[in-house]
């Protein structure tokens, strides 16, 4: 019996966009088939709505309306503007890999191999018919509509391999630069870190002045070997009228440390969702996330952590500072498998509301199938302490400056989790720029 799949309005509208984009999407044969299956999966439901439990507080059908058309490949003018944006970044000494409007810009990137690191363009690997695993680069173990959409449209990204035993002081940095207005970029990067390795990975999202009302759809897949240490820093400063939907899928080996930090100050609509599996015993995970929002901004931070082996520890810390009519969402879920005895997992969400019209939604979840565990969660919501404000103002500080000092103290613990001094300064600088925009 043949069954016709009914597509949503969004899915039907995207049919023409997907067909038109086929010529620009790298890969043939299995890659093309994988893309088609991913697109069909997305088209069944389209953009997620409140009816999808995982997206209950971030209704993309309402917030986005539709997916923007695929951005054109960057021309010389776009690359020139992107070069200026990259030069303006004050992020210390890093190996930069620059993606402009969804395409790897080789002339702006340091693609040199060495010190245990090799870098390839995703588009080149997908287009290489000799690569047996090329279709696997688009596959995901996570069932999510936006991951499926990303797999269908991914134009480029970077594939980073870090050899066993690498101890690298110089951070690897993926810089996303948008130059096109009212267009969408789709990037997918894969990072494989060997055993006994120590690496810092940075992700930065910025835009040129001409980029308005654009969309960024990004996925990063990370594998961390045994006895390794990955420091991950993510700073999102997209344009205030942009939309950013980003996902991370991370698998961590035994006796490893994974410390990830995320700061969101840009975008009118954004969601950063991270799916982390602790696949080896004795692993330590620390996540620190900050939302600094104002105006009508809506930002969603979702973490799903799978404790799949015994003796692992996870800590989730989330901070939100909300002004005007801003809306922040934090969803934290800890899954403890039956085999994962002696799990230690905790999450905490704290929000600071600077306006009566600001809103925070917290959704902590614990799903525990083991009996020898220590798991818990907590959440607080409040305003600036009037007595502390009075104390600071009584010593001559203007009201806004006093508020800024208290806000910096509120998010300071999360910022201090960044080990690299230069990268910590980058995050502090982004926070200070946000504070400077407050009227």
Give the orientation angle of helix 9-21 with respect to helix 30-45, to 10 degrees: 160
Q: Higher confidence at residue 90 or residue 374?
A: 374
Q: Which of 424, 287, 262 is nearest to 348 (CA)?
A: 287
pLDDT of the residue at 83: 96
Counting residues of the chain whose pLDDT is more than 70, the rounded percentage is 96
| Mean of pLDDT values over 406-426 | 94
Q: How far apart are CA 270 and CA 289, in angstroms?
A: 14
pLDDT of the residue at 3: 39
Q: 135 pLDDT exceeds 90?
A: no
DSSP notation for 217-255: EEEEEEEE-TT-EEEEEEEE---TT-EEEEEEEEEE-TT
pLDDT of the residue at 247: 98
pLDDT of the residue at 439: 64
Q: How far apart are CA 229 and CA 226, in angstroms?
A: 9
How many CB atoms are located within 10 Å of the residue 1 CB? 2
pLDDT of the residue at 11: 55
Cβ neighbours for 91, distance < 8 A, ≥ 6 positions apart:
173, 202, 204, 422, 423, 426
Range in 8-17, 266-275, 403-412 with the lowest mean pLDDT: 8-17
pLDDT tens by residue, 27-77: 988 999 999 999 999 999 999 999 999 999 999 999 999 999 999 999 999
| Mean of pLDDT values over 378-395 | 93
Residue-averaged pLDDT of the chain: 93
pLDDT of the residue at 252: 98
Which residues of 62-181 form beta strands (DSSP E)? 95-100, 103-104, 117-121, 158-162, 172-178
| pLDDT bracket for residue 318 (50, 70, 90) | very high
pLDDT tens by residue, 104-134: 999 999 999 888 999 999 999 998 876 545 7
pLDDT of the residue at 145: 96
Q: 10 pLDDT exceeds 80?
A: no
């Amino acid at each position: 019996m043949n069954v016709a799949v009914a597509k949503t309005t969004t899915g039907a509208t995207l049919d023409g966009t997907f067909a038109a984009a086929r010529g620009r999407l790298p890969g043939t044969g299995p890659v093309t088939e994988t893309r088609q299956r991913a697109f069909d999966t997305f088209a069944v439901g389209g953009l997620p709505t409140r009816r999808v439990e995982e997206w209950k507080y971030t209704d993309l059908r309402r917030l986005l309306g539709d997916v923007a058309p695929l951005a054109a490949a960057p021309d010389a003018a776009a690359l020139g503007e992107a070069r200026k944006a990259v030069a303006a970044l004050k992020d210390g000494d890093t190996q930069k890999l620059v993606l402009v409007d969804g395409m790897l810009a080789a002339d702006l990137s340091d693609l040199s191999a060495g010190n245990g690191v090799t870098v390839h363009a995703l588009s080149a690997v997908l287009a290489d018919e000799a690569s047996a695993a090329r279709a696997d680069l688009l596959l995901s173990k996570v069932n999510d509509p936006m991951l499926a959409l990303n797999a269908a449209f991914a134009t480029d990204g970077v594939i980073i391999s870090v050899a066993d035993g690498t101890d690298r002081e110089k951070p690897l940095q993926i810089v996303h630069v948008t130059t096109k207005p009212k267009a969408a970029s789709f990037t997918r990067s894969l990072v494989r870190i060997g055993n006994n390795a120590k690496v810092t990975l940075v992700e930065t999202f910025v835009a040129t002045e001409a980029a308005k009302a654009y969309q960024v759809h990004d996925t990063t897949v990370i594998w961390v070997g045994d006895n390794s240490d990955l420091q991950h820093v993510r700073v999102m400063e997209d344009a205030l009228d942009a939309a950013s939907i980003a996902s991370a899928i991370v698998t961590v080996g035994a006796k490893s440390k994974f410390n990830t930090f995320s700061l969101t100050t840009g975008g009118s609509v954004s969601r950063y969702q991270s799916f982390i599996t602790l696949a080896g015993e004795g692993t330590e995970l620390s996540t620190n996330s900050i939302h600094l929002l104002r105006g009508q901004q809506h930002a969603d931070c979702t973490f799903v952590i799978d404790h799949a082996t015994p003796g692992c520890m996870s800590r989730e810390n989330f901070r939100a500072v909300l002004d005007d009519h801003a809306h922040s969402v934090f969803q934290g879920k800890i899954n403890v498998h039956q085999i994962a005895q002696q799990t230690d997992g905790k999450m905490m969400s704290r929000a600071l509301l600077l306006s009566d019209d600001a809103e925070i939604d917290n959704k902590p979840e614990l799903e525990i199938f083991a009996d020898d565990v220590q798991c818990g969660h907590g959440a607080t919501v409040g305003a600036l302490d009037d007595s502390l404000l009075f104390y600071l103002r009584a010593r001559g500080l203007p009201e806004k400056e006093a508020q800024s000092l208290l806000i910096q103290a509120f998010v300071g613990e999360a910022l201090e989790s960044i080990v690299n001094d230069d990268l910590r300064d980058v995050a502090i600088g982004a926070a200070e720029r946000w504070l400077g925009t407050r009227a």
